[in-house]
Amino acid sequence: MTDSTRIAFSPCPNDTFVFDAWAHGRVPGAPALDVTFADIDITNGVAERRDPAFDLLKVSYAVLPYVLDDYALLPCGGALGRGCGPLVLTREADVDLSDKRVAVPSETSTAYLLFRLWAADTVPGGGVGEIVVMPFHEIMPAVRDGKIDAGLVIHEARFTYQNYGLHKLADMGEHWEATTGLPIPLGAIIARRDLGAEKLRGYADAVRTSVRMAWDAPEASRAYVMEHAQEMDPAVADQHIGLYVNEFTADLGDDGYAAIRGLLTRAAAEGLVPALAPDALAFP
């Protein structure tokens, strides 16, 4: 593995923390990593277009049923856990969303899939008035300023929404965990199948090593994390990493795969995504 590998992931602290060692050439035997930073809505679209410009992508688990013919899910590197679900925020408490405008970060995101499953169970009639897609960092200001009735937020917004005077209407993760008992699948690392099984296994090894190196020496990644953290407070960045980088990042394991299958099977049963093939999640 000596050729350069092209990857696109978000500038969020969990991704920069995970990939810092590999991106800076500290993972023994791994190829050079050519990083492009992109919002999750963009990387989802790249995967759906089968754009050969990237070997690896960080995408939403919700997009997997559409792309797994051409991409393999890596068993590591992604975001999956407990107590880390997306939130629905409003300016006033206890808002009925059945006729409201709701901002979401992407209609192909796992956050939006969890939101639709939650709405089907809890919103009268099972739906909201209108969905508006906007970059996630614009959602809380839009709710605060009354441009939108509610917002579905992800990432560090869990720790900062009160700074905007907003109320938590619901936690998509709490609903998911209460109804399934499973952890919450959020973001996945996928790789092009046409690169071959040997190369994909090498990528997985590099990701695992990069994660473990970040855990072993967290200060080594600090500059890279903060450089791309969009003026985030360092304490919030640490909370973000602590929540989204966990044992499932190093290896999905049985619970991780059960959560992914559970989410996508339930979503398929609701007609929200295509059904997965039985071996779709198998890794080379």
Within 8 A by CB and 6+ apart from 270, the residues are 116, 117, 120
Residue 179 assigned ligand-binding role? no
**Residue 198 burial (10 A CB sphere; 0-12, 13-18, 19+):** exposed
137, 155, 167, 240: the catalytic one is 155
Residue 59 is labelled as binding a ligand:
yes
Cα 48 to the center of its chain, rounded Å? 16
Q: What stretch of H or E contains 136?
A: helix 136-144
For 95, 97, 128, 172, the CA distances from 119, given in Å and listed in that order, are 13, 9, 8, 10
pLDDT in tens, the chain (284 residues): 447 999 999 999 999 999 999 999 999 999 999 999 998 889 999 999 999 999 999 999 999 999 999 999 999 999 999 988 899 999 999 999 988 999 998 888 888 999 999 998 888 877 788 999 998 889 999 999 999 999 999 877 888 899 999 999 999 999 999 999 999 998 999 999 999 999 999 999 999 999 999 999 999 999 999 999 876 789 988 988 998 999 999 999 999 999 999 999 989 988 889 999 999 999 99
The rounded distance, in Å, linking the Cα atoms of 222 and 234 is 9
Binding site annotation covers 4? no
18 CB burial (10 A radius; 0-12, 13-18, 19+): buried
Q: Compute the chain's Rg from CA coordinates.
A: 18
Q: What is the pTM of this model?
A: 0.88
155 in active site: yes
